[in-house]
Amino acid sequence: MSRSVLVTGGNRGIGLAIARAFADAGDKVAITYRSGEPPAGFLAVKCDITDAEQVEQAYKEIEDAHGPVEVLVANAGITKDQLLMRMSEEDFTSVIDTNLTGTFRVVKRANRGMLRAKKGRVVLISSVVGLYGGPGQANYAASKAALVGFARSLARELGSRNITFNVVAPGFVDTDMTKVLTDEQRANIVSQVPLGRYAQPEEVAAAVRFLASDDASYITGAVIPVDGGLGMGH
Ligand SMILES: NC(=O)c1ccc[n+]([C@@H]2O[C@H](COP(=O)([O-])OP(=O)(O)OC[C@H]3O[C@@H](n4cnc5c(N)ncnc54)[C@H](OP(=O)(O)O)[C@@H]3O)[C@@H](O)[C@H]2O)c1
């Protein structure tokens, strides 16, 4: 199996682990990056998902090199945590524009090829915080919860076209995004996780790869937690 796979934000963190998992399995993997030197071993396309023109250009590059995207992993995301009374409109809208509208942009563009091919796999990276909530994370939680409604609507809209839409909701994962937390915050989080530790990015990647595999051919509209049990029941 050598499919054309795109992982947004595949240059570091969870996205890089996902990109490696697909590449190790023999797929042709494209990743997006915004600045600096992207990691070797992938087709790296420069793309800020808040810019529709850059998204279009990235898809053209990928299609020229690998053919239409058959598996899309919408992973790129940001946090701008702040208590509500201190949260600026920019703090709110920039997180929505990246995590939700950015996902809309890349999913919509990928679907062009998937509709033509009459098949496709889309996996969105949400968060346990989307359904569990998190103080200081109203913007982030809203954007990640919205991905569930987005994916489930598309699962209903495009199921007959053999395109699946699933969501992976990681708990706390060891990446740059969580490095900003203090030791005290970290200890507090870990104390609430039944498995008693953070996830490694590869543990999230394994769930994503499963959802894009033949073994998951009858799964769509699902939200798969990879959270050590933190979000159980939510
Ligand atoms: N870490 C966790 O505990 C955790 C838990 C649950 C869910 N998640 C979700 O998992 C995903 C990956 O998180 P991570 O922990 O790997 O974070 P990270 O290490 O901070 O990496 C974020 C990635 O998103 C990319 N990105 C951000 N804004 C972008 C934009 N406008 N256009 C294109 N790319 C953009 C970044 O690219 P640059 O390198 O160019 O900045 C980077 O590749 C995110 O959606 C995050 O919300 C993370």
Substitution candidate for ligand 1 out of 173, 204, 234 with most atoms within 8 A of CB: 173
Annotated active-site positions, please?
Answer: 140
Distance 76 CA to ligand 1 centre (A): 4
> How many C-alpha atoms does 19 have within 13 Å on its Cβ side?
26
**What pLDDT is recorded for position 233?**
86
User: What confidence tens digit (pLDDT) does each residue in 145-191 have?
Assistant: 999 999 999 999 999 999 999 999 999 999 999 998 899 999 999 99
Domains of the chain: 4-223 (3.40.50.720)
- Tell me if 59 CB under 6 Å of ligand 1: no
Angstrom distance (rounded) from CA 146 to CA 148: 5
Atom of ligand 1 nearest to the CA of 198: 3
- Tell me if 105 CB under 6 Å of ligand 1: no
User: What confidence tens digit (pLDDT) does each residue in 198-209 have?
Assistant: 999 999 999 999
Query: pTM for this one?
Result: 0.98
User: What confidence tens digit (pLDDT) does each residue in 47-64 have?
Assistant: 999 999 999 999 999 999
Where b means 16+ CB within 10 Å and e means fewer, 58-68 reads bbeebeeebeb
- Confidence at 216, pLDDT banded by 50, 70, 90: very high
Distance 105 CA to ligand 1 centre (A): 16
**Binding residue numbers for NADP(+):** 9-12, 75, 140-144
Average pLDDT value for residue range 4-28: 98
**Which two three-digit tokens encode residue 112?**
């062009």
- Tell me if 127 CB under 6 Å of ligand 1: yes
**Which two three-digit tokens encode residue 67?**
């053919």
Q: Residue 77: what are its φ and ψ, rounded to 5°?
A: -165, 160
Average pLDDT value for residue range 135-140: 97
- Tell me if 54 CB under 6 Å of ligand 1: no
| 144 pLDDT above the threshold of 80 | yes
- Give one DSSP letter per residue of 154-190, joined into a string: HHHHHGGGTEEEEEEEE-SBSSHHHHTS-HHHHHHHH
User: What confidence tens digit (pLDDT) does each residue in 77-135 have?
Assistant: 999 999 999 999 999 999 999 999 999 999 999 999 999 999 999 999 999 999 999 99
**What pLDDT is recorded for position 1?**
66
- Tell me if 125 CB under 6 Å of ligand 1: yes
